[in-house]
Amino acid sequence: MSDLPFEIPTNKDELRDLFLNTRRLLASTWEGLNDEIMTRRPGPHPEWSVKDIVAHICWWETFALVRLGVLGAGLEIKPVEDYDSLNKQVDDFIQTLPLEAVLAQFDANQAQILNVIEYFSYEDWAVENRPNFPGRSFMFLLGANTFGHYYEHLADLTAFRKKHLEPPSTQ
């Protein structure tokens, strides 16, 4: 067992299932919330609404998709050195996006990620000694920006959902 909240996939079926199952779990945290609650700030995070978190996740998924394409072509990528600075730049943009566009992007990303999972062999996903991506696997890149990233936001989203969907106790 790893320190992660999931087992490392040992084949493509497990990789696909991990992605789909954690994505469903993530999406269930905003199921049934109305538009006003989805866009309310503060939301699950002091500076982000539910919509902002979904947009943030979508941005990182897209980032991973582009980088996987570049790496798969044998080209090199520059490592991100300051995630906080990049997140700040992204945050300024994502807060301007409409809810409908964010949810559409979330849905569209799923199909793209599934296509990329199918495109590469499991060996491609697992190898960590590529000259253009030393010490990390494609699976690490995908996981850090999808299923691993989802877990970073689940507790806040779950608590927010509970606060806004469950009736107050009558004691």
Residues 39-61: pLDDT tens digits? 999 999 999 999 999 999 999 99
For residue 40, which phi and psi values (nearest 5 degrees)? -70, 135
Residue type, 69: G
pLDDT of the residue at 167: 58
Average pLDDT, the chain: 92
112 pLDDT higher than 50: yes
What Å distances lie between residue 166 and 26, 43, 132, CA to CA?
A: 18, 16, 49
144 pLDDT higher than 80: yes
**Which of the four pLDDT bands, split at 50, 70 and 90, describes residue 1?**
very low
Report which of 106, 131, 116, 109 is spatially closest to residue 12, judged by C-alpha positions. Answer: 116
Considering only 81-85, 106-110, 137-141, 149-153, which range has the smallest mean pLDDT?
Answer: 81-85
Q: Which domains does the chain have, with CATH numbers?
A: 12-163 (1.20.120.450)
77 pLDDT higher than 50: yes
- Pick 4 or 163 by higher pLDDT: 163
Summarize the confidence of residues 159-168 as an average pLDDT. Answer: 82
For residue 34, which phi and psi values (nearest 5 degrees)? -80, 170
What Å distances lie between residue 61 and 32, 40, 163, 168, CA to CA?
A: 24, 23, 28, 36
pLDDT of the residue at 25: 97
- Pick 167 or 87 by higher pLDDT: 87
pTM score, two decimals? 0.91
